[in-house]
Every structure is written in structure tokens, then in C-alpha cells.
Copies of this chain bind each other. A is one copy, B any other.
Amino acid sequence: MTVMDMPQLDTTFSALSDGTRRAIVARLADGEAPLSELAEPFDMSLTAVSKHLRVLSDAGLVEIEKRGRTRHCRLRGAPIKEAVDWLSKYEGFWIDRFDALARHLAKEDKD
């Protein structure tokens, strides 16, 4: 299973690469909210925020439930966990090239 075969990560990282969407995620961590409330802090049209929510929803990061005339949104952790799992394999890297060599040799040792 190569990295290329994880298209879910494409959409997750892509969704989180926008500050507006990260702000929405952060807001939803405090509890679910309807779209209009989520849109309120932002200096953009409701349509624009609705599009952002759509992106988050398509990525599986947010669940949107139709309730009367409002749409209530809440956070889903699963894709985020998947992203953390992938990232965690690489967060320990630092610049020193000799260290990189050491890691390389250590890995060959295990093979």
C-alpha cells in the first residue's frame, strides 16, 4: 500500500489547507452549530461559507444534518485521526544530514 493509494488524505489535507475551514473546524470543536452561526464571524457571503462546509462535508470532516430549515454541523474525528497517523511517521525529522544517514542505516539493519 503506497502513499498514492490513500486518496482520503488528499481531500483531508486539501480541506484543511484553508484558514476559513480550519476556523470552522475549531469552532465545531466547541459543539455543533448551524451554518448561519458558523458564517457569522467571516467577512464573506453565506454562499461562500456554505461552499466551505460542503468541502469539509465531502472530506468527511463534518457531518451536516438537515433539521427544519437549518443545517446543523458537527465535527467528525476519523479523517483527522487518519491524517495524524500518517503525519506522525515523519514529524520526528530534523535537519542534520548525519542523523538522516543514521536513520537510514538503522532501517537497513532491521531489513
| A20-60 Cβ-contact flags toward B at 8 Å (1 or 0) | 10110110011110000000000000000000000000000
Given A13-B13, A31-B101, A90-B80, A95–B63 Cβ distance below 8 Å?
A: yes
| A61-103 Cβ-contact flags toward B at 8 Å (1 or 0) | 0010000000000111110110110111111111101001101
A11 to B22, CA, bound (A): 13
Residues B90 and A77 in contact, CB atoms below 8 Å apart: yes
Copies per assembly: 2
Given A88-B84, A90-B75, A92-B77, A16–B26 Cβ distance below 8 Å?
A: no
Residues B4 and A19 in contact, CB atoms below 8 Å apart: yes
- Choose among B17, B32, B84 the residue that contacts A87 (Cβ–Cβ < 8 A): B84
